[in-house]
Structure 1
Amino acid sequence: MTTTVIPAGGTSMPAKPADMGPVLPGPQKAAIIIQMILSEGGSLPLSSLSARGQARLMQDFVELGRVDRATLSLVVADLERDLSMSGLSFPRSVADALSTLESHLNPEVVDNLRGQLGLSTPPAPWPKVAALPAEQLIALLPDEDPKIAAIVLSKLDPDKASEVLEDMDPDQATQVTLAMQSTATLSPDMVARIGTMLAAAIPSEKPTAFKDTPALRVANLLNAATPDKRDAVLASLTDQDAAFAEAVRASIFTFADIATRIAGPDIAKITRDVPQEELVMALAYAQVAEPASTDFLLANLSQRMAAALREEMEEQGEVPKKAGEAAMGRITSAIRRLADTGEVTILAPPGAEEDEAA
């Protein structure tokens, strides 16, 4: 016989029968309530759960199997007791209220309300999902529900969808293609909710303070340094961290690299971007300090321009080391600028391809 317990607040509630079996953990109780709501045609914003929470919910659905009436009554009684003790919390702002209710409201009403409140429209989830590489998309798909995978493939462009299908194992690919026929009657709202769920499960990348890698930032510092300072820093780096020093060295571009890392046709673009007097000073100094790059640069100009430059280099005379190194640095800085805009290409250091292949 079921007794009645009168809590301090005065509201009567059924007591827990002693034969209702073991007490379920909280997540499984939540799964039972969710299934009750969904089985009655209700809907819930489950996509707002964390990726881990969504995965746990699916696991609980599988493990619970069939729940008998006694256990169901116990779970409902627990929920009633919790609600009577804690009450309900509602959103404190119109924006939060809209965020809570929008999946249950008419989309046109939601758009109008957002306009009236000056709120931005949340980004559509499917472009974010479709932008993932094929291997990440496959990892995101639940193995036990090929229908969701079929929906995802249907939202991708054909080339991307084929790439994802190609990376699936044969059994999964077969199940997904068979499930495609079950997507014919899906509502746009359901597909949008699935997209939201998948987009919420995508691991977010933490923002970083710097766009370039540490090695490239050090390389950019050393590009503008004098050769003596650059060599000293690289030697010290090599002693402290050889791998990092090698990464820095691969990112450095100096005047000496022009001969091996710039394509001949790009030389004319570079000389057009550098004032004539600086080009002459750099070449006059480099014909002794870096003769290979000087000869390469002149060889890839028109004969008339190369002859004019050689004549001005002779007139320039001897260039002091500090001024010459500064002029060469301005040439390499110009090359860097042109490379950043895509006008010229800085090739990989000689031997880099062989190192990668090894």
Structure 2
Amino acid sequence: MPFDTDMPDLSLDAVSASAAPLTPKQKAAVVVRLLLSEGAVPALSSLPESKQTELAIQLARMAPVDQATVAAVAEEFANAIENIGLSFPAGLDGALGLLEGVISSSASNRLREMAPSAYRGDPWERVGAIESERLVKVLERESNEVAAVILSKLKVSKAAELLGLMPGERARRITYGVSLTGNVSPDVVFRIGVSLAEELEKRPARAFPDGPVMRVGAILNYAPGSVRDEILEGLEKDDAAFARDVRQAIFTFANIPERVSGRDIAKVQAKLDQADLITVVAGAEGADRKAVEYFLANISKRLAENIGQEATEKGTVKAQDTEAAMIRIVNVIRELEAEGEIFFVAGEE
């Protein structure tokens, strides 16, 4: 770029454009003044404080600049911007922000460990986004003074929630410590935030994004009913609590009445292949039969009668065909739930 904000020194006397050419430092001041006069607010807060200070002092030292010089500086600045094909984030932390969700979690964690100690952005925003159960464990091992600083930087609702998770005496001491934080320097508060954010972000990479309950539940969703029942019975003998959690994570065709609201059935029906519904009506038995009746009771009476008639005409259906049709219907329901089109009803424990 033809000019920048890294201005040589501040000993230069204020000059007008007619007296001498503008230095890069002065050109930067002209551009900032021009942007402000047009109502634009340049992102100066992202610059180091030393550069912000230099720029402010240079603005104060500037003499009037004639219109021709302003136009020339503006054109030079515009040409420099147009010649930039791509801009890239500053530092490794900025690159991580750009690649969020693109690279693997293990690669991201390794890069964060390599990131320089100069922390970009507000660390307290990241700390405030951490779940309370993790934050309270940090507070428990910190001194009352540091814990008080942490609480002071969080939203009031978050701080109150954290206090409620701590023993009463400890919560009282930390609360009293908040009254003593008035003289803590901004630099100390920032360093505490950086240290805390970096610690909380260093979570070990997980090979599986979901927990074991969700993984087993997802697998059993696609297993034939007889296989699913046999596995669940075995799990109950080995670990009853785990088996109970897996049952709650499973969503099969038989779970439709208890998990899908009647008012959402019409939305589901509109997305289905009607041939699958006819197959299920013709072949469902036991608990699945109750789900069929629930489904038909929550669509239009005429449509339900037509599907019932076609199912009767279809006659006997193979068990594997019925099972496959049920799985496809369940997949449609899961897709609608994931897209926010419908919401599962909370299951009773």
Shorter-chain TM-score: which interval? 0.5 to 0.7
1:139-175 deviation digits (Å, cap 9, x = unpaired): 4347885443332222111212233345556665555
Partner in structure 1 of residue 211 of structure 2: 213
Equivalent-residue separation in structure 2 for 1:344 and 1:327 (angstroms): 20
Partner in structure 1 of residue 99 of structure 2: none
Q: CA deviation at 1:299?
A: 0.7
CA separation of 1:249 and 1:157: change in aligned 2, threshold 3 A: closer
Equivalent positions of 1:26-105 (< 5 A) are none
Contact 1:142 1:148 in 2 (8 A): no
Q: Which amino acid aligns with 2:225?
A: P
Equivalent-residue separation in structure 2 for 1:217 and 1:160 (angstroms): 31
Q: Which amino acid aligns with 2:186?
A: P
| Aligned equivalent of 2:123, options 125, 129, 133 | 125
Q: Which amino acid aligns with 2:259?
A: R
Partner in structure 2 of residue 195 of structure 1: 193
Equivalent-residue separation in structure 1 for 2:169 and 2:248 (angstroms): 45
Partner in structure 1 of residue 155 of structure 2: 157
The answer as to 2:294 corresponding to 1:283 is: no
Q: CA deviation at 1:327?
A: 1.0
Q: CA deviation at 1:256?
A: 2.0
| Aligned equivalent of 2:228, options 230, 234, 237 | 230
Give % identity. Answer: 38
- More moved, 235-244 vs 294-303: 235-244
Pairs aligned (count): 243
- When normalised by structure 2's length, the TM-score is 0.58
CA separation of 1:216 and 1:201: change in aligned 2, threshold 3 A: closer
Partner in structure 2 of residue 247 of structure 1: 245
Equivalent-residue separation in structure 2 for 1:289 and 1:181 (angstroms): 61
CA separation of 1:300 and 1:117: change in aligned 2, threshold 3 A: closer
| Aligned equivalent of 2:261, options 260, 263, 276 | 263
CA separation of 1:179 and 1:253: change in aligned 2, threshold 3 A: closer
Partner in structure 2 of residue 322 of structure 1: 320
Q: Which amino acid aligns with 2:290?
A: A
Contact 1:219 1:251 in 2 (8 A): yes
Equivalent positions of 1:288-307 (< 5 A) are 290-307=288-305
Q: CA deviation at 1:276?
A: 1.4
- More moved, 324-333 vs 278-287: 278-287
Equivalent-residue separation in structure 1 for 2:167 and 2:236 (angstroms): 45
1:182-204 deviation digits (Å, cap 9, x = unpaired): 43344322221122233345484
Equivalent-residue separation in structure 2 for 1:240 and 1:169 (angstroms): 36
Q: Which amino acid aligns with 1:148?
A: V
- Runs of at least 4 residues of structure 1 off by over 6 A? none
- Structure 2 residue runs without a partner (length 5+): 1-47, 53-87, 95-118
| Aligned equivalent of 2:308, options 304, 307, 310 | 310
Q: Between Structure 1 and Structure 2, whose CA radius of gyration is higher?
A: 1
Contact 1:282 1:331 in 2 (8 A): no
Partner in structure 1 of residue 336 of structure 2: 338
- When normalised by structure 1's length, the TM-score is 0.56
Report the RMSD for the aligned CA atoms in angstroms.
3.5
